[in-house]
Structure 1
């Protein structure tokens, strides 16, 4: 028997906010390339997660969640930018992966499906978080409803968190890709730099540890990123600014006696060391820039580029 042909290509990962797209990308890649939290719209940037297997390579395009109204005139500049990034991810891909939450389908899932249908690419449906469904028999009528009058190349109940159902999902996605050599090296897991990933890991802790609203008024700018030799290997010295929009928000991020900022920085540093495999020295500052999230020019200077 001959080995199957090697396939490689780009797959857009699309869905409404907070259905576990980034968790699924990380599970397929086998490393943390996209930050996650229980807050909707944690992902703000389009990034590639590169998942390499013996007979193929998935270049997964992780995107901000599509949200009805994000492109409207009343949405903030940040929200309009995120919607453009999500829709722009569909350009030039070979296939798409629509991620939905098991047991739920609403108008935003329909919005995501319609965007994929307009793009004209084959779509695989991943029904995520099936581990939360206690009565598995309830999945059958849900799957029937979700697929009624909608065209999918295949349907896969999965749990990204528990890494269940991923093998058959990978096989189905690879079948949709062209026969060609890998597009990236075997040891590459993302197209983003370590500097970018450091900023994202710090922002992840802001999303995880602050209140329901404040994370959306924060962003991170890595001002310095230097690698130098250490006693037991490389050492990264990173300086990062946490931008907020008001003085009151600055006080919340810093916390009493600086306790909250120290906790945020400590947890972010631990994640950086785990991802980079090296010692990290992290310094953080909190600064105010009024209205940055609704200022197109400010967004560009803070790294939000189309």
Structure 2
């Protein structure tokens, strides 16, 4: 039975690309539910990570990085962010402590000022990459940016998702901003993303690792088939996953596959291990690379790829 003091609600993490939102989501949830990469604009969907506590259920909404779009895909990602802001209980803006406040941060905060009824807090992320003097200076810059743009920060919190420093404090502060309410998701659920989406994202994360800078935005992954193999004993299940990696040009296909298929084989191995760790079942992963010409700019192709 849920007690009267139980709180539940949604907090959206936003920030410019590569501000540490996905890593922080995983740290708060306590397990990997969102893919991470050092490449900007890695997150393409709104994924909810669920933090279970005796006194609360905190649902973290990880969104794509807000940016000035150059493609139809970019416009759609920004629309996702704006739609999310209007639906959550609070918005937390991530400002990496190892970087100066820049035009991207000002752009996001200015946009956020247009959503007056949503509670806003600021997070100085990646504090493990900055010394105490720089962190103090950074917190002052965040406060000044709020004053300049008309955003009133409910909290300004320095955290490191990598070292875990102040992550639990941040969770406490976020819970304090939520309304009283019942549990919204069952115990044990860490995300509401379908398993096919999680598998596709983990494959894309493995494919992003180590590729040239221009390639990440050109990779999309679709799981075509996914299911437990029939005629296997209950104590030896095997999950079959057949997925396609889509790129925009034949030259990119060669990069993803690698010499003699070596890179694609490595991508498959690393993705399989991540999927097995997340879903808790052995996986057979079958990957193929296909070309969808200029899919980022083609509405029909975007629909086909579920974007």
Query: If the TM-score is normalised by the length of the shorter chain, which range does it land in?
Result: over 0.9
- Show CA shifts across 1:50-74 (max 9, x none): 111121111111100011x21xxxx
Q: How does 1:104-143 map to 2 (within 5 A)?
A: 104-120=100-116, 121-133=118-130, 135-143=131-139
- Show CA shifts across 1:186-215 (max 9, x none): 211111111110000000011113111112
Q: TM-score, normalised by structure 1?
A: 0.93
Distance 2:95 2:278 in 1: 28
Determine the structure 2 residue equivalent to 1:65. 65
Determine the structure 2 residue equivalent to 1:267. 270
- Show CA shifts across 1:226-282 (max 9, x none): 123456443210000011111111111111110000001110001001101110000
**Matching of residue 225 in structure 1 with residue 226 in structure 2:** yes
Determine the structure 2 residue equivalent to 1:144. 140
Determine the structure 2 residue equivalent to 1:9. 9
Determine the structure 1 residue equivalent to 2:38. 38
Q: CA deviation at 1:158?
A: 0.3
- Show CA shifts across 1:70-122 (max 9, x none): 1xxxx211111111112111122111111110142111111222222222211
Determine the structure 2 residue equivalent to 1:175. 176
Distance 1:177 1:60 in 2: 12
Which residue of 100, 117, 126 maps to 2:95? 100
Q: TM-score, normalised by structure 2?
A: 0.93
Distance 2:78 2:87 in 1: 17
Q: Which secondary structure does the structure 2 equivalent of 1:275 belong to?
A: helix
Q: Which runs of 5+ in 2 are unaligned?
A: none
**Matching of residue 301 in structure 1 with residue 304 in structure 2:** yes
Could you list the runs of 4 or more consecutive aligned residues of structure 1 that deviate by over 6 angstroms after TM superposition?
A: none
**Matching of residue 205 in structure 1 with residue 177 in structure 2:** no
**Matching of residue 290 in structure 1 with residue 293 in structure 2:** yes
**Matching of residue 77 in structure 1 with residue 80 in structure 2:** no
Distance 1:158 1:129 in 2: 7
> Are the structure 2 counterparts of residues 97 and 217 from structure 1 closer, same or farther at C-alpha, using a change threshold of 3 Å?
same
- Show CA shifts across 1:164-187 (max 9, x none): 101111111111111011111121
Contact 2:196 2:223 in 1 (8 A): yes
Query: Aligned pair count?
Result: 296
Distance 1:166 1:198 in 2: 27
Q: Which secondary structure does the structure 1 equivalent of 2:41 belong to?
A: coil
Q: Which secondary structure does the structure 2 equivalent of 1:209 belong to?
A: coil
Q: How does 1:232-251 map to 2 (within 5 A)?
A: 232-251=235-254
Q: How does 1:151-162 map to 2 (within 5 A)?
A: 151-162=152-163
Q: Which runs of 5+ in 1 are unaligned?
A: none
User: Alignment RMSD, CA only?
Assistant: 1.4
Q: Which secondary structure does the structure 2 equivalent of 1:184 belong to?
A: coil
Distance 2:57 2:253 in 1: 43
Distance 1:122 1:31 in 2: 26
